[in-house]
């Protein structure tokens, strides 16, 4: 399967714990995006990378959130000191610079108890 993959698919954590999610984009795609989707809403942009450079961050991305893409391939999204309001589906997408379509992964569903 050469699509976007995300790991884990589901994560349940207690409030105050740290969590980390991984995204593996389509191999030749140099842009990688993170979105957050809460129940009944459309995805909201969090941040995006072009190769290893983080080019834009949403104001939704508080200082408890950090994202990396160290070698321009996979990316990680870490949430520190999780809060119940962080419960959501975290979606990753990738694209080529020259093509605007973004291809989405299956998402990581986070539940903070």
Does residue 8 interact with other proteins by CB under 8 A? no
Does residue 56 interact with other proteins by CB under 8 A? yes
Does residue 22 interact with other proteins by CB under 8 A? no
Please state the φ and ψ torsions of residue 91, each to the nearest 5 degrees.
-105, 140
- Return all residues near 27 (Cβ < 8 A) that are at least 6 apart: 2
Does residue 48 interact with other proteins by CB under 8 A? yes
Does residue 25 interact with other proteins by CB under 8 A? no
Binding residues among 67-96 for other proteins as defined by CB under 8 A: 91, 93, 95
Provide, rounded to whole angstroms, the least separation between the CB of residue 106 and other proteins.
Answer: 4
Residue 34 CB burial class (10 angstroms; 0-12, 13-18, ≥19): buried
């Amino acid at each position: 399967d050469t699509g976007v993959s995300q790991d884990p698919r589901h994560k349940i954590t207690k409030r105050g714990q740290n969590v980390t999610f991984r995204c593996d984009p389509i191999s030749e795609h140099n842009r990688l995006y993170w979105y957050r989707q809460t129940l009944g809403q459309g995805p909201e942009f969090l941040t995006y990378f072009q190769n290893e450079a983080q080019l834009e961050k949403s104001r939704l991305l508080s200082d408890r959130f950090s994202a990396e893409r160290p070698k321009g391939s996979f990316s990680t999204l870490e949430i520190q000191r999780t809060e119940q309001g962080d419960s959501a589906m975290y979606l990753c997408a990738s694209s080529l610079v020259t093509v605007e379509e973004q291809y989405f992964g299956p998402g990581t569903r986070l539940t903070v108890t």
